[in-house]
Chains A and B, each alone.
Chain A
């Protein structure tokens, strides 16, 4: 059905993971975020049991502990393994998620904008994120938590490559 001659591997082709991992600082940031969120839940639970807002059964505490520890310790590890990205001459490829997983591929010829973003915390840690959008509202590729120099190089690269492409990319 293809226009091209099928490659030998095409009998059972598989999509490999993108080549690059995000910054090694990323898990720390994710863990910190998870810790803050877990803490908020803990405060609510404690306040609820102290002021009797709603009954907090005894078994809720060990359950909370297990979930919170899994969330703070295990989630960043899994996420670090999954979050990956790659940019070739012809396409951008990302993989994100932890429980669920999403891979996005956009051809370089259809890239419309390349956004560089750095929050206050990210600037403090020397991190940045790059968002690549296409003309489809369903397809932005977000490469978050990469080291600033890497992000700079990526933006330069993408800008140079997309400039070479003509057309309105729709």
Chain B
């Protein structure tokens, strides 16, 4: 951890390194005669990380080689199979260099086809440090940098795998606290901040919220556990099938079917599925959120989320880049008085959504508190929302009833055309009250509001959500109207933004109300088009 970094030979004279323990020189090097920003290499210990990862990837291939190789005479080529991943790792180490200059961070890759990825420092939106268990063992971290390009060019994603933990943290400071760092910031390595991996955020940070183990009770209420359980069951089914694991033969099956009552199966299967789902949800919650800490730096400019049981991640978000918040209020969570919170951040593409999570499923008061802290304004989280009126309510009911009537109608058709008894239609009718209840709640949830700085929209029951979007972050409006909406005099007003999901919608809002809302939220934009 303490071994000094070695600048690459072609770098010219090494840059000035400030004295240990002292702040770096504050006098900027005016017109430096030599290259002041040396190219740096990844940590040599990454050589251990990559072969291990590559070996895992190559594992089936390697097994093949050795199994086949045993039978043959010449087995020298077995070693090529082992050598390739190691060679790839060495190649990557030798060909990857990076540097941070005053204005940008540059990453150079490739042996023959050299490729330089450049990101301007003032476009850096977020920095994420990730340490897999192997990384943690070696005291390393992978650093990923989110820039303003919005992840449109995925191949130019900026990632350094890996740096020593302390250096990665320093680099993060250099990238995000630019105003704090002296103009001629140099990456100082080693002693000054020899935090080890288990250390939390540095002393100056203010911890806003930490994981409360009791929050685990909310995990089964999210859908993730069921998804995992379903996936595993499917996988097991396939595996058993593939392996010809005929646990029960046909004759046994017949015996079982007559022995066990059908009702028992109908009860047991879903029950075991639910239990399995809950277990996996809890495990998943703990694995990804263990040690969750949300903190803020002393000046309130950068927020940092740490979490992870096996692979730890540290995500830093600049407050300035946060355009708003998404409060997840899925039905299950809402009934338990819980919610989850993520940030709407520019420069993070939709598929990196996990890195914007601020609070895992937690009591809604915690979520509201953190939201208020982040926005420096409590009103958007509390605001009583304006409802969308009778036409929107009618539309909720027609849509819910149309959906809910599919099952009874199907049952009716079946009972008329097949020997299915007529009373089988009765249980199918139960979808109707469910539909009605959903419609009522969906209408209650539908709403919008405006505070001094934020636009708030809320919708949905099963996947309910409340989106808070900075009014100055709205960079356009889409007013959508389907044929049915036009007949009802409703529109879907979509605020477009450069952050998060890129679009946040107020659904089924009366046309006049939509125009008034858009006009009020972004004054002046609509003025030339109003009549």
We find that the number of chain A residues with CB closer than 8 angstroms to chain B is: 38
CA distance A21 to B526 in the complex (A): 19
Q: Which secondary structure dominates chain A's binding surface? A: loop
Interface residues of A in 13-60 (CB under 8 A from B): 13-16, 18
CA distance A104 to B492 in the complex (A): 12
B37, chain A: closest CB distance, angstroms:
24
B481 contacts partner chain A, Cβ-Cβ < 8 Å: yes
Is B476 a contact of A13 with CB atoms below 8 Å? no
Is A105 a contact of B150 with CB atoms below 8 Å? no
Q: List 5 A-B contacts (CB under 8 A).
A: A13-B512, A93-B529, A105-B476, A105-B525, A139-B502
Q: Take A100-B481, A168-B123 as given contacts and tell me if A138 and B524 are in contact as well, using a CB distance cutoff of 8 Å.
A: no
B411 contacts partner chain A, Cβ-Cβ < 8 Å: no
A119 contacts partner chain B, Cβ-Cβ < 8 Å: no
Is A99 a contact of B496 with CB atoms below 8 Å? no
Contacts of B494 in A (CB 8 A): 138
Q: Which 3 A-B pairs have the closest CB atoms?
A: A138-B503, A135-B498, A139-B496
Interface residues of B in 137-169 (CB under 8 A from A): 148, 150, 152
Q: Output the nearest chain B residue to A168 by Cβ-Cβ distance.
A: B148
Is A104 a contact of B511 with CB atoms below 8 Å? no
A96, chain B: closest CB distance, angstroms:
10
CA distance A139 to B531 in the complex (A): 24
Q: 20 other contacts beyond A136-B498, A137-B150, with CB at 8 A cut-off?
A: A2-B519, A4-B524, A7-B527, A9-B530, A13-B515, A13-B531, A14-B511, A14-B512, A15-B529, A16-B530, A88-B528, A93-B529, A104-B476, A105-B526, A135-B475, A135-B498, A136-B475, A136-B503, A138-B496, A170-B499
A83 contacts partner chain B, Cβ-Cβ < 8 Å: no
A155 contacts partner chain B, Cβ-Cβ < 8 Å: no
Q: Which of A16, A86, A135 contacts B150 (CB 8 A)?
A: A135
Interface residues of B in 321-341 (CB under 8 A from A): none
B480 contacts partner chain A, Cβ-Cβ < 8 Å: yes
Q: Take A16-B531, A105-B525, A136-B498 as given contacts and tell me if A2 and B479 are in contact as well, using a CB distance cutoff of 8 Å.
A: no
Is A91 a contact of B519 with CB atoms below 8 Å? no
CA distance A74 to B77 in the complex (A): 71
Is A169 a contact of B529 with CB atoms below 8 Å? no
Contacts of B502 in A (CB 8 A): 136-139
Is A13 a contact of B530 with CB atoms below 8 Å? yes
Contacts of B152 in A (CB 8 A): 137
A107 contacts partner chain B, Cβ-Cβ < 8 Å: yes
B516 contacts partner chain A, Cβ-Cβ < 8 Å: yes
CA distance A102 to B530 in the complex (A): 16
Q: Which of B450, B476, B481, B485 contacts A134 (CB 8 A)?
A: B476
Is B479 a contact of A107 with CB atoms below 8 Å? no
Is A102 a contact of B476 with CB atoms below 8 Å? no
CA distance A100 to B477 in the complex (A): 17
Q: Output the nearest chain A residue to B503 by Cβ-Cβ distance.
A: A138
Is A104 a contact of B477 with CB atoms below 8 Å? yes
A90 contacts partner chain B, Cβ-Cβ < 8 Å: yes
Contacts of A102 in B (CB 8 A): 478-481
B483 contacts partner chain A, Cβ-Cβ < 8 Å: yes
Contacts of A7 in B (CB 8 A): 527, 530
Q: Output the nearest chain A residue to B122 by Cβ-Cβ distance.
A: A168
B97 contacts partner chain A, Cβ-Cβ < 8 Å: no
B343, chain A: closest CB distance, angstroms:
15
Q: Which of A2, A90, A110, A136 is packed against the most chain B CB atoms within 10 Å?
A: A136
Is A13 a contact of B516 with CB atoms below 8 Å? yes
Contacts of B496 in A (CB 8 A): 106, 134, 136, 138-139
B346 contacts partner chain A, Cβ-Cβ < 8 Å: yes
Q: Output the nearest chain B residue to A107 by Cβ-Cβ distance.
A: B525
Contacts of A107 in B (CB 8 A): 475-476, 522, 525
A84, chain B: closest CB distance, angstroms:
11
B113 contacts partner chain A, Cβ-Cβ < 8 Å: no
A101 contacts partner chain B, Cβ-Cβ < 8 Å: yes
Is B515 a contact of A91 with CB atoms below 8 Å? no
Interface residues of A in 123-138 (CB under 8 A from B): 134-138
B193 contacts partner chain A, Cβ-Cβ < 8 Å: no
B172, chain A: closest CB distance, angstroms:
21
Contacts of A14 in B (CB 8 A): 511-512, 515, 530-531
B463 contacts partner chain A, Cβ-Cβ < 8 Å: no
B342 contacts partner chain A, Cβ-Cβ < 8 Å: no
Contacts of B511 in A (CB 8 A): 14
Is B475 a contact of A18 with CB atoms below 8 Å? no
CA distance A168 to B501 in the complex (A): 19
CA distance A118 to B480 in the complex (A): 27
Produce 1/0 per residue, B417-459, CB < 8 A to A.
0000000000000000000000000000000001000000000
B461 contacts partner chain A, Cβ-Cβ < 8 Å: no
CA distance A2 to B452 in the complex (A): 8
Contacts of A134 in B (CB 8 A): 475-476, 496, 498
B521, chain A: closest CB distance, angstroms:
9
CA distance A126 to B485 in the complex (A): 36
B116, chain A: closest CB distance, angstroms:
22
Q: Which of A86, A100, A104, A138 contacts B483 (CB 8 A)?
A: A100
Contacts of A13 in B (CB 8 A): 512, 515-516, 519, 526, 530-531
B316 contacts partner chain A, Cβ-Cβ < 8 Å: no
A103, chain B: closest CB distance, angstroms:
4
Is A103 a contact of B475 with CB atoms below 8 Å? no
CA distance A137 to B150 in the complex (A): 9
CA distance A110 to B502 in the complex (A): 14
CA distance A18 to B482 in the complex (A): 19
B391, chain A: closest CB distance, angstroms:
16
Q: Output the nearest chain A residue to B492 by Cβ-Cβ distance.
A: A102
A121 contacts partner chain B, Cβ-Cβ < 8 Å: no
Q: Output the nearest chain A residue to B528 by Cβ-Cβ distance.
A: A88
Q: Which of B152, B482, B496 is packed against the most chain A CB atoms within 10 Å?
A: B496
CA distance A16 to B315 in the complex (A): 45
B72 contacts partner chain A, Cβ-Cβ < 8 Å: no
Contacts of A4 in B (CB 8 A): 523-524
Is B498 a contact of A106 with CB atoms below 8 Å? no
B456, chain A: closest CB distance, angstroms:
12
A28, chain B: closest CB distance, angstroms:
25
Q: Output the nearest chain A residue to B350 by Cβ-Cβ distance.
A: A137
B399 contacts partner chain A, Cβ-Cβ < 8 Å: no
Is A138 a contact of B530 with CB atoms below 8 Å? no
CA distance A102 to B493 in the complex (A): 10
